Amino acid sequence: MSAAPGGGRTPLVVVLGASGYIGSAVAAQLARRPIRLRLVSRRPAVVPAARTAVVEQVVADLAAPGAAARAVAGADAVLDLVAHLDPAVGWRAVEAGGAELGERLGAALVREIAGALGTGHRPAGAPPPLVVLAGSASQAGRGGVVDGTGPDRPVTVYARQKLAAETALLAAGAEGVLRGVSLRLPTVYGRGPGPDGHGVVAAMARRALAGEPLTVWGTGSVVRDLLHVTDAAAAFTACLDHGAELAGRHWPVGTGRAVPVRELFTALARAVAERTGRPAVRVDSVAPPAAATAADVAGTVVDASAFRAVTGWRPRRELPEALAELAAALADRS
């Protein structure tokens, strides 16, 4: 999606959650396009100094009634990257006590967006606005390879809320109100242009920088698919160029590589040690806590071949260099 040829109307792309972890990375990539870019978040987003887009910042609480409708007014595309995370840890989705707000920032938010876009003016012949939702591979509710087939059986509050939001989005798309796309993401990690403190990998890196042992549950053999934040952002921006082909369904997006948690934490401890010059911290085995869910102990790998076939997207960042980059960034801030 870029400026219309022949001096036509420049498209408006709205990013909801633009100051967040993935939102900041998406905003940085979209700022290089010849578009109008509206960045909406609870706090001011980072606006790249070098940019082509005409950028508008909107500070808003999207949980407030009517805020989302105002935020997406006139949009040609909306990227819904809003997340409800536990402030106590900064990386885990809220499970207890946050269901109401999570629903408000999930399915209810999608329905408000759809209502606003459905009643807004659209130029003659223009397709319905594109809405891309940040979903989760955990919506499938099972381990093994997640490829977008098979029934969904989410086992956590977060996964159920994401599935409800996705269902609302695709229903609105079926009614012709919008064109809906959901990207189901695995664990997202790495240094981005925005906050570095989000994600379990960053949380463990901070522990290592503090000289504290890292812990794995049991043997640490459970695997995760780790997608760098800039690769995740590139998947969202790719949707703008392939909306017609992608609309109407969800798409798993990941690397397809299975990384055991113990291997991940060992590599992370080594990256921190190389940065600090201190010995690498231990990686200890502990029993899973009572709060552990079935999703925590199910290894998951994402098969993104369907999405790649349509868009040409592929992950570019390699784990070792990305861990070293993250360790350096966090060490410089500590």
Number of domains in the chain: 1
Per-residue pLDDT of the chain (334 residues; tens, 9 = 90+): 654 434 468 999 999 999 999 999 999 999 999 999 999 999 999 888 889 999 999 999 999 999 999 999 999 999 999 976 554 444 445 444 455 676 788 999 999 999 999 987 777 778 999 999 999 999 999 889 999 999 999 988 889 999 999 999 999 999 999 999 999 999 999 998 876 667 899 999 999 999 999 999 999 999 999 999 999 999 999 999 999 999 999 999 999 999 999 999 999 999 999 999 999 999 999 998 887 877 778 889 999 999 999 999 999 999 999 999 999 999 988 6
Tokens 């700022």 sit at which residue?
31
CATH code: domain of residue 104: 3.40.50.720
Q: What would the two tokens of residue 263 be?
A: 């291997």
In a domain, 209, yes or no: yes
Per the domain annotation, does 276 fall within a domain?
A: no
CA atoms of 205 and 251, how far apart (whole Å): 30
Domain-located, residue 267: no
Question: Which residues are CB-neighbours of 226 under 8 A, at least 6 positions away?
Answer: 186, 187, 189, 201, 255, 257, 259, 264, 319
- The answer to whether residue 103 is domain-embedded is yes
DSSP track, 102-146: HHHTTHHHHHHHHHHHHHS---TTPPPPEEEEEEEGGGG---EEE
Which of 77, 327, 311, 72 shows the shortest CA–CA distance to 202?
Answer: 327
* pLDDT (0 to 100) of residue 100: 65
- Residue 247 has what pLDDT? 98
Q: Which amino acid appears at position 96 of this protein? A: A
| Contact indicator for 74, 68 with CB cutoff of 8 Å | no
**Is 323 in a helix, a strand, or coil?**
helix
Q: Does residue 278 lie in a domain region?
A: no
Nearest to 127 by CA among 180, 73, 72: 180
Partner residues linked to 77 by β-bridges: 13, 130
pLDDT of residue 297: 80
Q: Which amino acid is at 253?
A: V
Closest by CA to 301, choosing from 253, 230, 333, is: 253
Q: Confirm whether 112 is domain-assigned.
A: yes
pTM: predicted TM-score of the whole model, two decimal places: 0.93
**Tokens 């029993």 appear where?**
287
Tokens of 125: 């012949």
Domain with 43 in it: 10-260+287-333
Res 320: pLDDT: 97
Q: Is 268 a member of any domain?
A: no
Within a domain: 73? yes
